[in-house]
C-alpha cells in the first residue's frame, strides 16, 4: 500500500495545512462554546426545579395534607402541579423522608432515594442527582405549616433528557456559525494559496532551499559587485565584491545608500537620481562602471565593474601612442637637422656646421641637465618627459618653472604621478597651441604641484563641477569615457588630507594648485642643490654644456629626461 505523500508545491502545502488548521480551530472553538452552554442549561434547569418546588411548598393545603398524612390529597395536588409545569416529578415527603406522592404510585410510602436532611432542616437545595427516574436537575425546599413548623419536603426534578434536547436544539445554530467560519477560512486560505502560487512561480519547497543556497554561492562568487535595493533605497543585499569596491561598512544591510556612501555621483547613480547605462563613477582611487535596473517591487539591482586597471592601461596606451607619434615627428626633425649638417659640410662651411652642432647639443644638454637637477624623482621625471613629447608633437610648449624642485623622496610615487599626469593631460587637452607650465615644490613633507596653461581657463561657476565624476566639457572618445581624471585627482587629494584649488594663472588660462601633506619623506640634513643654477648657464659655453656634478648620485640615468621638456 502506497503511503500518501506530503505535497511538494508551496501553495499546496499552504492550502492543506491552513485547511487542517481552520477545521481544527473551528472544532475546538465549537466544543469550547458548547461546554459552558451545557453547564448554563443545567443551572437553568435546577433554578426552574427550585422555583416549582417553592411554589408547591407555598400551597397550605398540601402542607396540611402532608401533616395529616393524607397521601391521596398530596398525590392529587402534586400530579396537577407536575403536569402543569412539565416537571419530571413532584415528590412530597413527610418529616422522616417517606414519600407521600410520586409519579409511580407504587413507590408512595417508601423512603426517598436521596438525602432529605438539608431540606428538612430548613435549607433550599439545588443539584444534579441520580435517582429512581435517572439523572435529573433537582430543587428541594422544606414544607412548612402556617406556624412555620416543618412537616416535610418538596422535591422537584427536571430530567436530563429535556436539558439535552434543548442543547441539541442550540447545536444546529452553533454548527451553522462554525460552518460559516470554516467556509470563510477555507476561502481565505485558497485566495492566499493562489497568490502565493503566483509569487513563488509554483516551485517546490525543496527548490526554494536549493535556490537560496545557489544564490548565495553565485552572488558571493562572481567578480562583479552587486547591490540589491528596496523601494526606499535601503540595501537589501551586497555581495563581497560590492562591499570591497564601495568600501561599505560590515553592517550595511538595511541602511540607505546616502548613509553609507558620501555625497557624489556614485551615490546619485546607485539611488537612481542619475540615470543611464554604463555610467562611470569613482570611489576612492577606483574607477567603476555602474548599471542600475529597476525591479517590479520598486527596488533596484545595481551591478558594479572595476575598470581601474583597464582605465590605467588605456591611459598608458594613449600616452604610448602620443609618445610614438612625437618620436616619429622628432625623427623627421632629426633627419632635417642631419640633412642641414650634411649640406653645410658639403658646401665647405665647416665653422657654421660646428656652430650648428654646438648649438643643438648645448641646448639639449642644458635642458636635460635642468630637468634632471630639478625633478629627481624618476617617476615624475619620466612622466614629464613623456608629456613634453606629447606637447611638442601638438605644437605646445611645456616648461618646468625655474624654482621647481622635487627630491627623490615621494612616499607614494603612484599617487604623485596620477595627480600630476591628470593635471597635465587636462591642460594639454584645453589647448590647441600655447604653453603649459608645471611647478613642483617641496616644503618639508608637503608637496606643492601647480599646473598652469594659456588656454581659455575655467569659468567661476564651473570650478566645483569639473571635479564631478562623468562631467566633461569635451566629447568622450570611443574607447573610454571622459570626466574621470579630475574626479580621481580630487578623491586622491582628499583621501591624503590635502586640497586642490583652481583659478586664474599667470599665463592667462587656468591654474590648478594641489597641496599634498605627508607626500614626501622627511628631508635629509644635506642642503638641496640650487635649482636655478643650470638655468643661468650659457648652452655650450666653454664646452661645458652639462649640469654641475651633483653632490649625490642621481637615482635615474640621464636618458630618462630627454630634450622633450620644451617644444622646439
- Read off the pLDDT of residues 189-231 as tens digits, 9 standing for 90 and up: 778 777 777 776 666 656 666 676 776 777 776 778 888 899 8
Residues 85 and 17 in one domain: yes
If you average pLDDT over each of 146-150, 193-197, 285-289, 517-521, which comes out highest? 146-150
Residues 421 and 501 in one domain: yes
Mean pLDDT of 385-414: 79
The boundaries of the domain holding residue 522 are 364-565
- Residue 392 forms part of a structural domain: yes
CATH number at residue 382: 3.30.565.10
Cβ neighbours of 327 (radius 10 Å): 14
Q: Does 166 have pLDDT greater than 70?
A: no
**Cα gap 68→163, rounded to integer Å:** 36
Binned at pLDDT 50, 70 and 90, residue 153 comes out as very high
Looking at the structure of the chain, the number of domains it has is 3
Residues 378 and 284 in one domain: no
Q: Where are the alpha helices (DSSP H) in 149-159?
A: none
> Which of these ranges, 344-353, 435-444, 536-545, has the smallest mean pLDDT?
536-545
Q: What is the pLDDT of residue 347?
A: 85
Residues 160 and 231 in one domain: no
**What are φ and ψ of residue 194, in 5° steps?**
-65, -40
CATH number at residue 130: 3.30.450.20
Of residues 434 and 478, more confidence is placed in: 434
The residues, any chain, with a CB within 8 Å of residue 212's CB and separated by 6 or more, are none
Residues 242 and 151 in one domain: no
Beta bridge partners of 450: 439, 513
Mean pLDDT of 83-93: 88
- Residue 174 forms part of a structural domain: no
Q: What is the pLDDT of residue 451?
A: 92
Of 402, 442, 381, 414, nearest in space to 564 by CA: 381
The residues, any chain, with a CB within 8 Å of residue 551's CB and separated by 6 or more, are 526, 529
Amino acid at each position: 500500500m502506497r503511503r500518501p505523500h506530503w505535497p511538494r508545491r508551496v501553495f499546496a502545502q499552504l492550502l492543506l495545512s491552513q485547511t487542517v488548521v481552520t477545521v481544527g480551530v473551528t472544532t475546538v472553538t465549537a466544543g469550547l462554546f458548547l461546554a459552558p452552554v451545557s453547564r448554563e442549561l443545567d443551572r437553568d434547569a435546577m433554578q426552574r426545579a427550585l422555583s416549582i418546588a417553592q411554589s408547591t411548598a407555598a400551597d397550605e393545603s398540601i402542607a396540611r395534607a402532608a401533616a395529616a398524612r393524607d397521601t391521596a390529597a398530596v398525590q392529587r395536588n402534586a400530579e396537577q402541579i407536575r403536569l402543569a409545569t412539565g416537571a419530571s416529578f413532584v415528590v412530597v415527603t413527610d418529616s422522616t423522608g417517606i414519600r407521600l406522592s410520586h409519579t409511580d404510585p407504587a413507590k408512595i410510602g417508601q423512603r426517598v432515594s436521596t438525602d432529605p436532611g438539608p431540606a428538612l432542616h430548613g435549607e433550599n437545595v439545588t443539584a444534579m442527582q441520580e435517582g429512581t427516574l435517572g439523572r435529573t436537575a433537582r430543587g428541594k425546599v422544606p414544607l412548612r405549616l402556617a406556624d412555620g413548623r416543618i412537616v416535610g419536603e418538596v422535591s422537584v426534578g427536571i430530567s436530563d433528557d429535556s436539558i439535552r434536547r434543548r442543547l441539541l436544539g442550540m447545536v444546529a445554530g452553533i454548527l451553522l456559525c462554525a460552518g460559516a467560519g470554516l467556509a470563510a477560512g477555507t476561502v481565505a486560505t485558497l485566495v492566499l494559496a493562489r497568490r502565493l502560487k503566483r509569487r513563488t512561480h509554483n516551485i517546490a519547497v525543496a527548490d526554494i532551499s536549493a535556490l537560496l543556497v545557489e544564490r548565495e554561492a553565485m552572488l558571493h562568487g562572481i567578480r562583479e559587485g552587486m547591490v540589491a535595493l528596496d523601494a526606499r533605497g535601503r540595501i537589501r543585499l551586497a555581495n563581497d565584491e560590492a562591499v570591497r569596491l564601495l568600501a561599505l561598512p560590515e553592517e550595511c544591510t538595511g541602511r540607505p545608500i546616502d548613509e553609507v556612501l558620501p555625497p557624489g555621483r556614485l551615490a546619485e547613480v546607485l539611488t537612481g537620481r542619475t540615470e543611464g547605462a554604463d555610467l562611470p563613477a569613482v570611489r576612492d582611487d577606483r574607477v567603476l562602471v555602474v548599471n542600475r535596473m529597476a525591479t517590479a517591487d520598486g527596488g533596484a539591482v545595481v551591478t558594479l565593474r572595476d575598470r581601474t586597471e583597464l582605465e590605467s592601461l588605456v591611459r598608458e596606451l594613449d600616452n604610448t601612442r602620443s609618445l610614438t607619434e612625437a618620436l616619429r615627428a622628432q625623427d623627421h626633425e632629426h633627419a632635417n637637422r642631419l640633412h642641414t649638417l650634411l649640406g653645410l659640410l658639403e658646401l665647405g662651411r665647416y665653422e657654421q656646421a660646428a656652430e650648428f652642432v654646438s648649438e643643438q647639443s648645448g641646448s639639449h644638454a642644458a635642458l636635460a641637465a635642468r630637468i634632471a637637477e630639478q625633478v629627481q624623482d624618476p617617476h615624475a621625471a619620466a612622466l614629464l618627459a613623456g608629456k613634453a613629447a606629447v606637447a611638442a608633437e601638438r605644437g605646445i610648449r611645456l616648461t618646468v618653472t625655474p624654482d621647481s624642485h622635487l627630491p627623490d623622496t615621494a612616499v607614494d610615487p603612484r599617487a604623485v604621478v596620477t595627480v600630476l599626469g591628470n593635471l597635465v593631460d587636462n591642460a594639454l587637452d584645453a589647448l590647441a597651441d600655447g604653453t603649459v607650465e608645471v611647478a613642483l615644490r617641496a616644503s618639508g613633507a608637503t608637496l606643492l604641484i601647480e599646473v598652469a596653461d594659456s588656454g581659455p581657463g575655467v569659468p567661476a561657476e564651473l570650478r566645483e563641477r569639473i571635479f564631478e565624476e562623468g562631467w566633461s566639457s569635451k566629447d568622450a572618445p570611443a574607447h573610454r569615457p571622459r570626466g574621470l581624471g579630475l574626479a580621481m585627482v580630487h578623491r586622491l587629494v582628499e583621501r591624503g588630507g590635502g586640497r586642490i584649488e583652481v583659478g586664474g594663472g599667470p599665463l592667462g588660462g587656468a591654474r590648478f594648485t594641489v597641496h599634498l601633506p605627508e607626500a614626501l619623506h622627511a628631508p635629509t640634513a644635506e642642503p638641496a642643490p640650487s635649482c636655478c643654477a643650470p638655468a643661468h648657464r650659457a648652452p655650450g659655453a666653454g664646452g661645458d654644456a652639462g649640469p654641475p656634478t651633483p653632490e649625490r648620485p642621481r637615482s635615474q640615468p640621464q636618458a630618462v629626461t630627454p630634450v622633450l621638456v620644451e617644444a622646439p
